[in-house]
Amino acid sequence: MAFIEGGSYAPLYRNDENNTKETVGDFYMDKSAVTNSAFSLFLEQFPQWKKENIKSIFAESNYLSHWENEFEADAPVTNVSWFVAKKYCESQQKRLPTMAEWEYVALADQNQKDARSEPSHNQYILDWYESPKARSPKKVKSTFKNKWNVFDIHGLIWEWTYDFNSVLISGESRKDVKTDRNLFCGSGSVDANDLMNYAAFIRYAFRGSIKANYCIQNLGFRCVKDLK
């Protein structure tokens, strides 16, 4: 795991009018996403989460569909639901990262911890979002290592966060800013503090269109761990 020194940053969405900074404490983050091989070991230890045993409330029918044929051991596991990702991390005495923790680490490029002002970094992210996605992602650590020594935070797969749906906006009115975790396709830009941060908008829009039992071919996860 990589050590992440905590700090503050300006998130895409404000918490309220008087607080535009999000603060995260020190923590550790997996250097890469959880792989197919690591996840298969988890299933051997906890067979109730195997495809043939899992209840539909915890994962839809697409769960682990890429395992129908042989899978790449060192590629990130995908087609896993939020429920299963959460349980995997707990089995490792870890947890899923919060949205703030993931975004904080994702600000970095190879050379600096906050690269939002670097056009080349933002373009790299957008180019990946625009490119057709292969059914089987490449191996982990196949993209750049950022300033935190974390690989593939951009450019390989999407990743679950613990509170992925916490910014959803209820109702049709832009004035209605109450969150509702049972709704999806939330509003796009209410209270956003950086309307030019298209890459972050894409991430939030994706989170706003899924539910916790969804299993998507380019959606995986990595874990984090608190400092003792």
Q: In what order do the strands lie in the sheet with 27-29?
A: 2-4, 27-29, 224-226
Please tell me the distance from the alpha carbon of residue 55 to that of residue 49, in angstroms, as a whole number. Answer: 8
For residue 33, the model assigns a pLDDT of 97
Contact 25, 97 (CB under 8 A): no
The dihedral through the CA atoms of 147, 150, 154, 158 has a sign that is negative
Bridge partners, 45 (sequence order)? none
Helices (H), the chain: 36-45, 82-91, 99-106, 119-130, 198-207
For residue 186, the model assigns a pLDDT of 37
| Residue 102 token pair | 């993931």
For residue 174, the model assigns a pLDDT of 43
Q: Are strands 22-24 and 2-4 parallel, antiparallel or unpaired?
A: unpaired
For residue 165, the model assigns a pLDDT of 76
For residue 137, the model assigns a pLDDT of 77
For residue 209, the model assigns a pLDDT of 67
For residue 195, the model assigns a pLDDT of 43
Class of domain 1-166+213-228: alpha beta
Please list the rounded mean pLDDT of every run of 10 residues in the chain (228 residues).
93 57 94 97 97 96 90 94 97 95 91 83 76 75 93 90 70 44 41 52 60 92 94
For residue 17, the model assigns a pLDDT of 53
Among 141, 162, 164, 143, residue whose Cα is nearest residue 154: 143
CB neighbours of 48 closer than 8 A, spacing ≥ 6? 54
Bridge partners, 145 (sequence order)? 151
Amino acid present at 86: K
For residue 190, the model assigns a pLDDT of 44
| Residue 71 token pair | 């899978």
